[in-house]
Amino acid sequence: MKDERQKKTPFFTKLKEYGLSDITPFDVPGHKLGRLSNDLLDFIGLNTYLLDSNAPRGLDTLSKPTGVIKEAQALAAEAFGADHAFFLTNGTTGGIIAMIMATCRANEKIILPRNVHKSIINALIFSGAVPVFVKPDIDNNLGIANGLTFKSMKKAIDDNPDAVAILVINPTYFGLTSDLVQIVDYAHEKDLLVLADEAHGAQLYFSDLLPMGAITAGADIASTSMHKTGVSFTQSSILLTKGDRIDLNKIQSTLNMIHSTSPSALLMASLDVARKQMYFSAEEEIKRVLELKKEAVPRLNSIRGVQVLDESYANERGFLGFDHTKLVIKVSELGLNGFDVYRALKDRFNIQLELAETYLVLAILTMATIKEDLDRLYVALKTLSDEVYDHYDELKKIKFNYTFPETFVRPRVAYHAPHKIIELTDALGEVSAESIMIYPPGIPMLIPGEIITEQFLEDLAFYEENGSVIFSELNNGKIKVIDKDNWDKLEVYIDEL
Ligand SMILES: Cc1ncc(COP(=O)(O)O)c(C=O)c1O
């Protein structure tokens, strides 16, 4: 039975009313609700500008909600089965930084997989928490890192009785989910908080055909990108909490440190409306999309050189569940790598995939996916396969050995340590002072404090050759490393941090 109260969109409704109220605006934003025409306004229309206001009186305040934002957040919490929800206007990134800062003090330990998103590494720098990185399941045949199984998380918890929190990724970018109920129960038994990165998990709360959301499994707090696998505007996410282990005031005050004092009303309205839409329609729409996928997968698998990963992959790797909205396609047997296919699909067929890895590509399905999308993907992959399958040799085995470099100092120490900039060609054995990753997925190959290995340098060169977007502080073959000649200063920093 659906709750009729979820039909309300308190923030969006009030915002619309305000925009249409013929207000005389002597406040910011300076466009004064779209008074002056410009190229953007001409394209998107006046209504968007009418909603871009920042009027605390009547429209409530994100930093201390007491009115329509509070009401909208409460509806969101209920829709997700959480106790509290905080709207985020700087993505799950903001939620992750706030949840780690608010739960782990400097020098307290947090257990987490090493293949976390860069926002988590940055949260460790902000908070000073000490990461206990656990090696995730690594599949060298596919060249990907998966998540943590209960077994590996349990071992890490047992080995670190002084840790205060664990962090789980639910699901991983490639859709794998762990036995969260077991992990959460064990962590709680040992008095640890459970934090979840659910950047790819908003849909899990709205369909029984998908694995469980972290909050449903009992996690204390989860940062959830409504904009990725839900249907809200880019950059809008929700931070969810459950139970009484989390200090809500601390979360709010930490969010207030991170958020702009002028959060986007458009993004908040988008969250309000997306929550309603997902509450009432996601279940049906996801069912529809999964049926489409069921029809599409055998067709895709019939293409020579193409293979879609399914739940059996997750189970073989020791994971409990698989998020079927992820369409993970192994393409290496075409004789092409994932990057070639990603580029070809975009440049020749106008198909934008989510990401490429060496051996595979990832397409994300959401409640807004339609049959034509999958049909076009089939035609494009079939065309590529017909062109190349008989002509290419097996893909030259890339010396791909998914390893993570060793930690020399933790990210916060490396961030504060004296630095120098050197050529990448001289970097072997140095300690990085920056994060380097390909984007997407934004999971750092190297983080501040890790020792630069030959493997890292080779992998980076490989990604560069393949035209991946590399996120790093510097370009032109340079890298920021710890300046060991000033190591004595670093000792001071270590004591202080
Ligand atoms: C696993 C993971 N965590 C966190 C984030 C950050 O999310 P957002 O883009 O909503 O800030 C991302 C974004 O790509 C991600 O993939």
Q: How many CA atoms lie within 13 A of 380 on its CB side?
A: 20
Query: Which pLDDT score, from 0 to 100, does residue 491 have?
Result: 66
Three-state DSSP class for residue 22: coil
Whether 93 is in the pocket of ligand 1, judged by its Cβ within 6 Å, is: yes
Residue 9 is classified by DSSP as: -
Ligand 1 atom with least separation from CA of 169: 1
Fold for the domain defined by 282-388: Aspartate Aminotransferase, domain 1 (3.90.1150)
Contact 90, 120 (CB under 8 A): no
Among residues of the chain, what percentage have pLDDT more than 70?
Answer: 96
Q: Residue 9 has which token pair?
A: 């969109």
Whether 236 is in the pocket of ligand 1, judged by its Cβ within 6 Å, is: no
For residue 326, which of 144, 170, 176 has the smallest C-alpha distance? Answer: 176
Whether 119 is in the pocket of ligand 1, judged by its Cβ within 6 Å, is: yes
Query: Which pLDDT score, from 0 to 100, does residue 490 have?
Result: 67
For residue 198, which of 165, 168, 166 has the smallest C-alpha distance? Answer: 168
**Model pLDDT for residues 88-100, shown as the tens digit of each residue:** 999 999 999 999 9
Contact 329, 300 (CB under 8 A): yes
CA distances in angstroms from 310 to 18, 103, 175, 317, 362, listed in the order given = 48, 36, 9, 12, 12
Name the β-bridge partners of 439: 469
Which residue shows structure tokens 């470099």?
405
* Beta strands per DSSP E along 199-348: 221-224, 237-241, 307-308, 321-322, 326-330
Alpha carbons 458 and 400: distance in angstroms, whole number: 9
Pocket residue to mutate for ligand 1, from 86, 92, 112, 198, most atoms within 8 A of Cβ: 92
Whether 472 is in the pocket of ligand 1, judged by its Cβ within 6 Å, is: no
Q: Is residue 202's pLDDT more than 90? A: yes
Alpha carbons 260 and 62: distance in angstroms, whole number: 10
Query: Which pLDDT score, from 0 to 100, does residue 495 have?
Result: 58
Segment (H or E) for 351: none
> What is the average pLDDT across 30-40?
97
CA angle 367, 368, 374 (to 5 degrees): 100
- Torsion-angle region of 446 (φ positive above 0: left; ψ -120 to 50: alpha; else: beta): beta
Q: Please give the torsion angle defined by the CA atoms of residues 111, 91, 242 and 325, in that order, rounded to the nearest 10 degrees.
A: -90
Fold for the domain defined by 411-496: Ornithine Decarboxylase; Chain A, domain 4 (3.90.100)
Alpha carbons 163 and 165: distance in angstroms, whole number: 6
Segment (H or E) for 461: helix 454-465
Q: Average pLDDT of the chain?
A: 93
Query: Which pLDDT score, from 0 to 100, does residue 395 have?
Result: 65
For residue 196, which of 177, 154, 224, 232 has the smallest C-alpha distance? Answer: 224
Alpha carbons 337 and 332: distance in angstroms, whole number: 5
Pocket residue to mutate for ligand 1, from 228, 239, 323, most atoms within 8 A of Cβ: 228
**Model pLDDT for residues 449-480, shown as the tens digit of each residue:** 999 999 899 888 888 887 777 888 877 789 99
Which residue shows structure tokens 């920056």?
434
Domain locations in the chain as residue ranges: 4-279, 282-388, 411-496
Residue 241 CB burial class (10 angstroms; 0-12, 13-18, ≥19): buried
Among residues of the chain, what percentage have pLDDT more than 90?
Answer: 82
CA distances in angstroms from 86 to 109, 118, 194, listed in the order given = 25, 21, 17
**Model pLDDT for residues 263-312, shown as the tens digit of each residue:** 999 999 999 999 999 999 999 999 999 999 999 999 999 999 999 999 99
Alpha carbons 220 and 240: distance in angstroms, whole number: 8
Query: Which pLDDT score, from 0 to 100, does residue 159 have?
Result: 98
Which residue shows structure tokens 């073959």?
477
> What is the average pLDDT across 432-452?
88
Q: How far is the CA of 115 from the centre of ligand 1 (A)?
A: 12
Query: Which pLDDT score, from 0 to 100, does residue 35 have?
Result: 96
Whether 232 is in the pocket of ligand 1, judged by its Cβ within 6 Å, is: no
Q: Is residue 9's pLDDT more than 90? A: yes
Q: Residue 84 has which token pair?
A: 């509290």
Alpha carbons 99 and 108: distance in angstroms, whole number: 14
Contact 196, 214 (CB under 8 A): yes
Ligand 1 atom with least separation from CA of 197: 3
Query: Which pLDDT score, from 0 to 100, does residue 398 have?
Result: 58
In the chain, DSSP finds a helix count (H) and a strand count (E) of 19, 19
Contact 131, 458 (CB under 8 A): no
Ligand 1 atom with least separation from CA of 235: 10
CB neighbours of residue 454 within 10 Å: 9
| Interstrand relation of 321-322 and 307-308 (parallel, antiparallel or unpaired) | unpaired
Question: In the chain, what is the straight-line distance between the N-terminal and C-terminal CA atoms, in Å?
Answer: 52
**Model pLDDT for residues 137-163, shown as the tens digit of each residue:** 888 888 888 989 999 999 999 999 999
**CATH class for the region spanning 4-279:** alpha beta
CA distances in angstroms from 346 to 311, 342, 365, 381, listed in the order given = 27, 6, 17, 12
CB neighbours of residue 476 within 10 Å: 6
Alpha carbons 307 and 341: distance in angstroms, whole number: 13
Which residue shows structure tokens 């089965």?
81
Segment (H or E) for 360: strand 360-364
Q: Residue 211 has which token pair?
A: 């694995």
Query: Which pLDDT score, from 0 to 100, does residue 349 have?
Result: 98
Angle between helices 91-103 and 118-127 (to 10 degrees): 40
Q: How far is the CA of 396 from the centre of ligand 1 (A)?
A: 32
Alpha carbons 453 and 459: distance in angstroms, whole number: 10
The DSSP line for 257-278 is HHS-SS--HHHHHHHHHHHHHI
Q: Residue 137 has which token pair?
A: 């399941």
